[in-house]
Amino acid sequence: MSNDTRKLVMEELAGCLDIPESAYDKAEARYTDLGDWFGRPDAHCYEFDPHISPQGSFRLGTVIVAEEYDLDFGCRLRAGITKATHTQEQLKRLVGRDLEEYRRARGIEQRLEEKNRCWRLNYKDELAFHMDGVPSIPEEEQQRVLIEAAMVTYGSDRALAQSVAQLAGSITDIRLPNYKQVSPAWRVSNSEGYAKWFESRMKLASLLMEERALAAKAATVDDLPARRWKSPLQRAVQVLKCHRDRMFVDDPAGKPISIILTTLAAGAYRGELDVADALDGILGRMGDGVRAEKPRVPNPVNPAEDFADKWYDPQYKHLALEANFRAWLRQAKHDFATIGQSRDPNFIAGQAMSKFGVSLDSHALRRKLGGIGAPAVMVTPKVHVITATPAKPWTRR
């Protein structure tokens, strides 16, 4: 397959994974509505300067089509509450009171659901989704200095580390033994900082990002929501997540988690300008991002946190999580190489469905492939499925 053909196929595949713009608009409207609610003078959190910020894949622009969407948001109370004045439980209950009143005011029928670190609002409208709100307060200066130093030690640019560390916060977690006690020992989280780090990786394709901004009539790419960047890194992460979901369709508990895939992919990205080259580079390098010692997959904006801590936690041994990750990576390398070798539209469409759950129009593919270079000679490679499987196998489709 010519390089141009390979790129076309990968772009076609990636282009099918985007959610409708209307879904992003609805998510943005929900975030805005929540921000307005917490900003009301009669809100319980109002005196503590609340700030609502989107988190997760909607913030990063790496959402893929799903039956139900998870809209994460942070609720940072930026003044008047510290670890010395409140317990984690008191902070969580304070935020929960406003969320409960919001639920009733907006006619959300399902009860507010308490999770370990957050509150969950379950919506049932034309777009099925739930919103997980994580209460937090700003992290103390001493801890932010330590985070900045750790980021630099692990290879981050000092200016980025300084900027990101200032966004760190302390979050609630009902599993901690001091949850109901005034204590300095809270969990550290930095979703906004992670988004900035991820954006810094996208910007390695600087000229492409400038072109995207110009096309959208924005002064800089920073003036656009991340979802509109449509960078090769974002597209690659979407494709990898989709492949992962398809491979583990019958073993969702054992699949590699999205934060590990996203972090390793972003760390392996080198500024490639199209999805095909980005995927080749990422798949070839992302395994190198797994460390032999702990932390195995450090959080780039808080290296003391290990995204892969469940890999060596006896509680999750039966899931064979590290073995599953390595088996997925081997299979992903093979599947991308296989689909990239063919110019047979029917074969490509079949692989797109079986390996990614994506429906490609073989007739449209034939027209597009025929327009690249010489008349297409259809070559269908022999499909080989890697037989090495983790302890808990899955069904391949």
Token pair for residue 250? 């019958």
pLDDT value for 26? 85
Decide: helix, strand or coil at residue 76: strand
Domain for residue 36, yes or no?
yes
Distances (CA, A) of 273 to 5, 91, 205, 227, 231: 15, 45, 6, 17, 8
Q: Per residue in 52-77, pLDDT tens?
A: 999 999 899 998 877 677 889 999 99
Total H helices, total E strands in the chain: 14, 9
Question: Which range, 125-134, 254-263, 342-351, is most confident?
Answer: 254-263
Q: Is 93 exposed, middle or buried (0-12, 13-18, 19+ CB in 10 A)?
A: middle
**Domain membership flag for residue 196:** yes
Q: Which two tokens stand for residue 3?
A: 């390089």
Q: 362 in a domain, yes or no?
A: yes
CB 170 within 8 A of CB 81: no
Question: b/e for 361-396, b at 16 or more Cβ within 10 A?
Answer: ebeebbebbeebeeebeeeeeeeeeeeeebebebee
Host domain of residue 342: 3-370
* 334 assigned to some structural domain: yes
Between residues 284 and 367, the one the model is more confident about:
284
Pairing status of strand 169-171 against strand 302-306: unpaired
Residue 165 lies in a domain: yes
Q: In the predicted model, is pLDDT for residue 192 greater than 90?
A: yes
pLDDT of residue 310: 97
The DSSP output letter for 189 is: E
pLDDT tens figures, 251-282? 999 999 999 999 999 999 999 989 999 999 99
Count structural domains, the chain.
Answer: 1
Arithmetic mean of pLDDT, 10-23:
82
Residue 345 belongs to a domain: yes
**Residue 17: band (very low, low, confident or very high) from pLDDT cuts 50, 70, 90:** confident
Distance CA 6, CA 20 (A): 25
- Model confidence, pTM: 0.88
Does residue 223 sit within a domain? yes
